[in-house]
Structure 1
Amino acid sequence: MSKTQPIGIFDSGVGGTSIWKEIHELLPHEHTIYLADSSNAPYGEKPREEIVRLSFKNTEKLLDMGAKIIVVACNTATTNAIQKLRSSFNIPFIGIEPAIKPAATKSQTKAIGILATRGTLSSELFAKTSDLYSKNSKVIEVIGNGLVPAIESGKKDSEEIDKLLQKLLEPMIAEGIDYLVLGCSHYPYLIPNLKRLLPDSVTIIDSGQAVAKQTRVVLNSHNLLSDTPQKPPEFFTNGNPEVLKNLINTATMSYNVTYLDF
């Protein structure tokens, strides 16, 4: 394994680019390859066996592309498949889980909301994490039905998604939450919408920065941190490349977005 090899990142679609942005900002010298498995999004409604199969498919593709570490930028894939991935492949994996610990620790009202997919909320790993950190808090879990398809189809700024969010947030607001944990890597793209719809007293937490920091720690521990600038980021999608381009939306660097049937 060499320092110049890329960081591989995959998600059930375009949402994991919210994680990619944090990694790229913290580790600008690294070459990153991102796989958006949009043709199979959302993972959150699929059976566990299918989530594991898709996670293996994505991992194998990134390994074929020379990845030195793989970031599973999908809560559903992390909570359902990362243990099997780690036991099956000889490469470091970084996962993403809902940030329950900081929310439960800092909450003053002792009521926290978690917006996530069905696949994440029903997973064994999520249940363990929730039980460990939220014993003294009331946790209001809400499945974000319809949010991922709306983001995947480029409708994150639509009136339709605001109406959907309003309905999903109602039970949390009624319970007096002061922290909202985003349990899906697509959802950070809805933070502007959420801020409009939530009381000012509610703090929104996502896991992007924590994942980026953990990626740096693991690369450093394996002596794999790149110390010289590498190739521009590469993005591959088996969905609509335009949706991916619109989310990346940066003029500060060059990058490639390519359709790939994988």
Structure 2
Amino acid sequence: MSEQPIGVFDSGVGGTSIWKEIHKLLPLENNIYIADSANAPYGHKSTEQIIELCKKNTEFLLKKGCKLVVVACNTATTNAIKELRETYAVPFIGIEPAIKPAALQSKHKAVGILATKGTLSSELFQKTSSLYTNGQQVIEQVGEGLVELIEEGKVDSEETKILLKKYLQPMIEANIDYLVLGCSHYPYLMPLLIDILPSHVKIIDSGEAVARQTKTILEKHNLLNNQNTNSKNEFYTNGNIGILKSLLNNPFEVNFLAF
């Protein structure tokens, strides 16, 4: 059982930012990744549609023998992970915006959150935010169009820069000292974010925390792979194979997924 793969899925290529952190922390683990790019972004869909897509992704991974599933999508986690945990027997790891550490560490009591509409409007996010941001100024911004641009391979495009400047300007004016990235696609915008934001603003994403939680759960269930062999990593997409390959920066095989 311990040699079986970890399953990871996202609404597209962005979740590879999560997979990279998992692979870095747990290099012996085998992984199977699904980029459901044909249905990206999930943030525009209803809760029912998101749950249906998440179940389809999960069932593909379970048929491949995955021992644990990482939902590497904020919108999918906040809208569907409760249903997934109630439906399937394997452990699930979710991802949600790291609002808690940002709120607790903010000296200016002003925090920015860049996320999808589906994440910001979800009950889970609203509950977490209200718990930790009392008395703080929270600037929530829907990153409309950003996921689509990343899925099209336009991470460094002028169009992306213009959108980011527009979305970040109210946060800069509010003197935020933390920016929370609430979408697993957004870490790929890090160079642009650093260039646009004042130098004192710290940017937080959830990748490392998800990797640590994955390790904790594997240990808890005695599922850690301790075999000293090269790990096997498989990638599937129903979108542009070339864009997924370009983000992996490695000669991994990428397969077309006919979803």
TM-score (normalised: structure 2) = 0.98
Match of 2:64 in 1: 65
Q: Which amino acid aligns with 1:21?
A: K
- Secondary structure of the 1:142 match is strand
Match of 2:248 in 1: 248
Q: Distance in 1 between matches of 2:160 and 2:173?
A: 20
Q: Which runs of 5+ in 2 are unaligned?
A: none
Give the percent of matched residue pairs that are identical in Structure 1 and Structure 2: 63
Match of 1:232 in 2: 232
Contact 1:14 1:36 (8 Å CA) reproduced:
yes
Q: Distance in 1 between matches of 2:16 and 2:124?
A: 23
Q: Distance in 2 between matches of 1:172 and 1:50?
A: 32
1:22 equivalent in alignment to 2:38: no
The Cα shift of 1:231 comes to 4.0
Q: Which amino acid aligns with 1:144?
A: G
Q: Please give the residue correspondences for 1:61-140 in structure 2 after superposition, counting only pairs within 5 Å.
A: 61-140=60-139
- Tell me how large the CA RMSD over aligned residues is: 0.8
1:44 equivalent in alignment to 2:43: yes
Contact 1:33 1:235 (8 Å CA) reproduced:
yes
Match of 2:152 in 1: 153
The Cα shift of 1:159 comes to 1.1
Match of 1:176 in 2: 175
Contact 1:232 1:255 (8 Å CA) reproduced:
no
Q: Distance in 2 between matches of 1:20 and 1:69?
A: 13
Match of 2:185 in 1: 186
Contact 2:27 2:231 (8 Å CA) reproduced:
no
The Cα shift of 1:171 comes to 1.0
**Could you give the per-residue CA deviations for residues 187-206 of structure 1, whole angstroms, max 9, x where no partner exists?**
00000000000000100000
TM-score (normalised: structure 1) = 0.97
The Cα shift of 1:102 comes to 0.6
Give the ranges of 4+ consecutive aligned residues of structure 1 lying more than 6 Å apart after TM superposition.
Answer: none
Q: Which runs of 5+ in 1 are unaligned?
A: none
Aligned length: 258
Q: Distance in 1 between matches of 2:41 and 2:138?
A: 24
Q: Distance in 2 between matches of 1:199 and 1:17?
A: 27
Q: Distance in 2 between matches of 1:171 and 1:219?
A: 41
